[in-house]
Amino acid sequence: MPPILAFLSDFGLGDYYVGAMKGVALTICPEASLVDIVHEIPPHDIEAGALALAAAYRAFPGGTVFVAVVDPGVGSARRPLGVDLDGYRFVGPDNGIFTFVLRRGGVARVREITATHLLRPDVSPVFHGRDVFSPVAAHLAAGMAFEELGPSVADPVLLPFAGSRRLPDGTLEGRVIHLDRFGNLVTSISGAELTAMLEASAASAGDVVAEIGGARVALARTYSDVADEEGLALVASSGFVEVAVNGGSAARRLGAKKGSRVQLRLVRPRGPSSGVGEEPW
Amino acid sequence: MPPILAFLSDFGLGDYYVGAMKGVALTICPEASLVDIVHEIPPHDIEAGALALAAAYRAFPGGTVFVAVVDPGVGSARRPLGVDLDGYRFVGPDNGIFTFVLRRGGVARVREITATHLLRPDVSPVFHGRDVFSPVAAHLAAGMAFEELGPSVADPVLLPFAGSRRLPDGTLEGRVIHLDRFGNLVTSISGAELTAMLEASAASAGDVVAEIGGARVALARTYSDVADEEGLALVASSGFVEVAVNGGSAARRLGAKKGSRVQLRLVRPRGPSSGVGEEPW
Amino acid sequence: MPPILAFLSDFGLGDYYVGAMKGVALTICPEASLVDIVHEIPPHDIEAGALALAAAYRAFPGGTVFVAVVDPGVGSARRPLGVDLDGYRFVGPDNGIFTFVLRRGGVARVREITATHLLRPDVSPVFHGRDVFSPVAAHLAAGMAFEELGPSVADPVLLPFAGSRRLPDGTLEGRVIHLDRFGNLVTSISGAELTAMLEASAASAGDVVAEIGGARVALARTYSDVADEEGLALVASSGFVEVAVNGGSAARRLGAKKGSRVQLRLVRPRGPSSGVGEEPW
């Protein structure tokens, strides 16, 4: 079974950068299967990269090594890191790119990459994806022990405002982190956080509405649970709450953008016939 | 010889979706070679996806399994299908995505995917690419018999207006389905339909002109058969008739767009010195 | 160790073209690892393709076979070529796509591809990437001797104005060939040419400034060598001189575009306290 190396970056697909990373990886681990997660992360958008990495990694088999490079601080003093979590390994800069992975996962081990013999000779100060992260990941994929990277790290950088917060009335508040190709609004609120909110309030999905801008939409299971062109919130395939419009673009419909505030608010049933279904959107 | 899994979708390359599909595939069939056909099919454009799939699949070796996911109805009642044709296997939604493959190919066997043990546990209602189609395709690539998918289907959905129609005077009429990166206009008229038209009329390529908008261009073999900046129609590498401009963009020159009507019209030679070459463009 | 095939083209990622090339390659060399360098080279921009190829190939292991197809003259009389250089093999059209590889590399052997039995049957006159270059590259990857391609070529096409020229006062002059995703301006001046200029003048990096438009920036080692939002020139990871802005977009800041003239000018120290650092940007 060939080892798997999966790549995520903000390098885009208009330059040779991704190809060069892969060439280096195959030099060290020629039998690896190379897979792209995504390279069109907006330039320097660590949070969007962190979200995509967390959304994707569990679809891969255990043992997969991930190279995650959104690295505005390349060439500065930020540490290069390795993370070992639930049998997956990750390498990338210590700038918050692992925030959602570390938050969603189990017990993580984190190490600083100090073993310079793993790097390419003549490391370019502006392309650590090729000269640091890809070769280190390839060594891990080829069987090198995780401990060989360098010393343990107790304080990996975490993005400060990522995730959600619980307001006094039980409302979960987060932000739009990413707009996908279909106009779905991916929020920073995880499905686990929503579940915890429901359990704390002994509430069910039907008791919750999502508010974004002036709009209010029901919490549902899938697009077709609501009428065509109607809005909804759902725990998406990424494991995060998304706001969508059935058969349309929520981004266009709701005028929402990256950073827009989203609230999941409890709406207690006021009687047997009442409920979310009565709220017009 | 490793099995091949080839992917086509409208998921784009700005999200983690394609990577997640591949992670799932490698979990089931780790030795597979994974190839992308295209993921930038316009969102929900089943017809463009159907065309790209038909244009690409014969370039692959027999035995290749194709995952084709343009799926606006995900989570609704549309059937998931498998298709076995000329030694190739295809999986995807029953919404017309296989229209051109079924029309161009030989004898196809079609089955509904009802074997739920092939799917990922906890199928997301909004991401059957990851949880239904990719794992099923990986099982096929790993050697599972096609019959294990589920019962035979006699009536796969076909796109209603795809392809071309023959007018009473012998003219072949189709539409522009896709504009490629170079501004070439890919039409719904297949090379086989053009050949049949020529044979039915005992005509040759020189007897045919293509009309689109107010413009009329000659049927030729390749771009350089006409002068620079001049238009032409040809049976392109996709197997479909395209309208192009030598050294330029037909889309820009002809103001044509997706859906524009195209006619391949017989222009009988009216004398020894006459012919298509005399028609100014 | 599986052979590696690496692909570069201007085919974009919105069409089936790249997928079809790979299907053909796997038909001939099923055990190959297929890697994309880049396919979003601007349509028909041979120079940008030549630059990306030269920037990427040395990151790959020796023995890698590269398919480089930016081919506005497809179907015309331009020769199909193979190049053997430093253990790497390249195939593509004879239109200058190998200019920077041939200039940067060691002793190259060049052959015209005349062995038609290597091609696909029924070569499409408009898609030699699929029907000529990909199958030939796959045969090389599968072990075929380079000499079997066809006769030696002594005069491969080289792009006329690529690279840089030395002005009488020692200034190196080149042009912007490519703007990358981060707004970095990739120039036609190679790091080797800069080194030669410095050696000829017994100068060091601190004696040189880059001029582009009305702006003048220091030559530095990496982005963080200058203040935030400040400009610099550096020998980038590509091996070529780039003009960048620390934490910003040089393209936006300097209003530069493809083709803009760049000069690396010697600024002799005029006294012990003087130097590039004094030049405001």
Q: List the one residue out of B214, B208, B220 whose CA is nearest residue B266.
A: B208
pLDDT of residue B104: 79
Per-residue confidence at A274, pLDDT binned at 50, 70, 90? very low
Inter-chain contact C127–B237, Cβ cutoff 8 Å? yes
Strand partners, C4: C33
Residues of A in contact with B12 (CB under 8 A): 40, 180-181
The tokens describing B215, both together, are 């413009």
Residue A122: how many other CB atoms lie within 10 Å = 6
Q: Please, are residues B131 and B123 in contact by the beta-carbon 8 Å criterion? A: yes
Question: Residue A49 in 3-state DSSP?
Answer: helix
Of A42, A5, A41, the residue nearest A21 (C-alpha): A5
Of the listed ranges A182-191, B221-230, C114-123, the least confidently predicted one is: B221-230
E-strand stretches of chain C: 4-9, 33-38, 65-69, 80-85, 88-93, 108-112, 165-166, 172-179, 185-190, 208-212, 215-219, 231-235, 240-245, 261-266
Residues on chain B bordering chain A, Cβ-to-Cβ distance under 8 angstroms: 10-16, 18-24, 26-27, 30-31, 34, 43, 72-76, 124-127, 130-131
Contact A240, A152 (CB under 8 A): no
Residues of C whose CB is below 8 A from A15: 38, 52, 178, 180-181
- C-alpha separations of C53 from A15, A25, A196, B263, C2 in Å: 10, 18, 51, 42, 21
* Residues in chain A within 8 Å Cβ distance of B31: 1-2
C contact test, residue of B33, B66, B241 with most C CBs within 10 A: B33
Rounded distance between C-alpha atoms, residue A167 and residue A272, angstroms: 27
Q: What is the pTM of this model?
A: 0.92
Q: Determine how β-strand B208-212 pairs with β-strand B261-266.
A: antiparallel
Candidate from B19, B43, B75 with C-beta closest to A182: B43
- Per the document, the length of chain A is 281
C208 CA to centre of own chain: 24
In angstroms, rounded to a whole number, what is the distance separating the alpha carbons of residues C18 and C24? Answer: 10
pLDDT (0 to 100) of residue C106: 80
Whole-number pLDDT of residue A270: 39
Strand order in the sheet with C80-85: C33-38, C4-9, C65-69, C88-93, C80-85, C108-112
Contact B61 C21 (CB under 8 A): no
Question: For a pLDDT cut of 70, what percent of chain A falls above it?
Answer: 95
> Is there a contact between B59 and C20 if contact means CB atoms under 8 Å apart?
yes
CB contact under 8 A, B181 and C31: no
pLDDT (tens digit per residue) in C211-223: 998 899 999 998 8
Residues 6+ apart with CB under 8 A from B278: none
d(CA C120, CA C142): 16
Instruction: Break chain A down into helix, strand, coil percent, rounded to 5.
Output: 25, 30, 45
- The answer to whether the CB atoms of A75 and C4 lie below 8 A apart is no
Q: Which chains touch C (3 or more CB pairs under 8 A)?
A: A, B
Rg of chain A over all Cα atoms, to the nearest angstrom: 21
Nearest chain A residue (CA) to B23? A60
Query: Cβ separation of C18 and B38 shorter than 8 Å?
Result: yes
Residue type, A18: V
Taking the CB of residue A73, how many other CB atoms lie within 10 A of it? 17
Going by C-alpha positions, the residue among B281, B203, B199, B270 that lies closest to residue B243 is: B281
Q: Which residues of B touch A238 (CB under 8 A)?
A: 16
Identify the residue whose tokens are 């081919």: C71
pLDDT mean across residues, chain A: 92
Residue C277 has a pLDDT of 37
Chain center to CA of C108 = 16
- Residue closest to A126 by CA, chosen among C256, C243, C48: C243
B131 closest CA partner among B116, B145, B143: B116
In this complex, do C2 and A30 lie within 8 Å of one another by their Cβ atoms? Answer: yes
Q: Is the pLDDT of residue A275 over 50?
A: no
Q: Which of A133, B17, A91, A18 is closest to C181 using CA atoms?
A: A18
| Residue A130 to chain C, least CA–CA distance (Å) | 8
- A19-31 pLDDT per residue, tens: 999 999 999 999 9
Q: What does the pLDDT average to over C90-117?
A: 94
The nearest alpha carbon in chain B to A65 belongs to: B23
Task: Write the CA distances from A212 to A181, A193, A216, B278, integer angstroms.
Answer: 19, 18, 7, 63
| Residue A38 phi, psi dihedral angles, 5° rounding | -165, 145
Q: Please, which residues have CB within 8 angstroms of residue C278's CB and are 6 or more apart in sequence?
A: none
Non-local (6+) Cβ contacts of A191 within 8 A are A235, A239, A240, A241
The whole-angstrom separation of Cα C267 and Cα C265 is: 6
| Per-residue pLDDT tens over the stretch C27-57 | 999 999 999 999 999 999 999 999 999 999 9
For residue A217, what are its two tokens? Answer: 């939409």
Q: Across the interface, do B13 and A37 touch by the CB < 8 Å criterion? A: no
Distance from CA of C53 to the nearest CA of B (A): 21
Residues of C in contact with A27 (CB under 8 A): 59-61
Residue of A nearest to B43 (CA): A182
User: At B162, which helix (H) or strand (E)?
Assistant: none
Q: What is the pLDDT of residue A234?
A: 96
Report how far residue A236's alpha carbon sits from residue A238's, in angstroms, rounded to the nearest whole number.
5
Q: Using CA atoms, how far apart are residues B208 and B275, in angstroms rounded to an integer?
A: 9
Using an 8 Å CB-CB cutoff, list residues of chain A that contact chain B. Answer: 1-2, 4, 6, 8, 13, 33, 35-40, 52-53, 55-57, 59-61, 64, 178, 180-182, 221-224, 234, 236-238, 247
Residues of B within 8 A of A104 (CB-CB) are none
Are residues B59 and C13, on separate chains, in Cβ contact within 8 Å? no
Helix, coil or strand: residue C67: strand
Contact C91, C113 (CB under 8 A): yes
Provide the strand spans (E) within chain B. 4-9, 33-38, 65-69, 80-85, 88-93, 108-112, 165-166, 172-179, 185-190, 208-212, 215-219, 231-235, 240-245, 261-266
Q: How many residues are listed for chain C in this entry?
A: 281
Tell me the nearest-neighbour CA distance from C232 into chain B, angstroms: 30
Residue A183 near residue A243 (C-beta atoms within 8 A): no
pLDDT tens-digit series, residues B129-178: 999 999 999 999 999 999 999 999 999 999 987 788 999 998 999 999 99
Nearest to B76 among A40, A180, A224 (CB): A224
Which pLDDT score, from 0 to 100, does residue C74 have?
Answer: 84
User: Residues A31-59: pLDDT tens digits?
Assistant: 999 999 999 999 999 999 999 999 999 99
User: Testing the interface with C: which of A11, A35, A126, A133 to mutate, by most C Cβ within 10 A?
Assistant: A126
Q: Which of A20, A73, A125 sits opposite C59 (nearest CB)?
A: A20
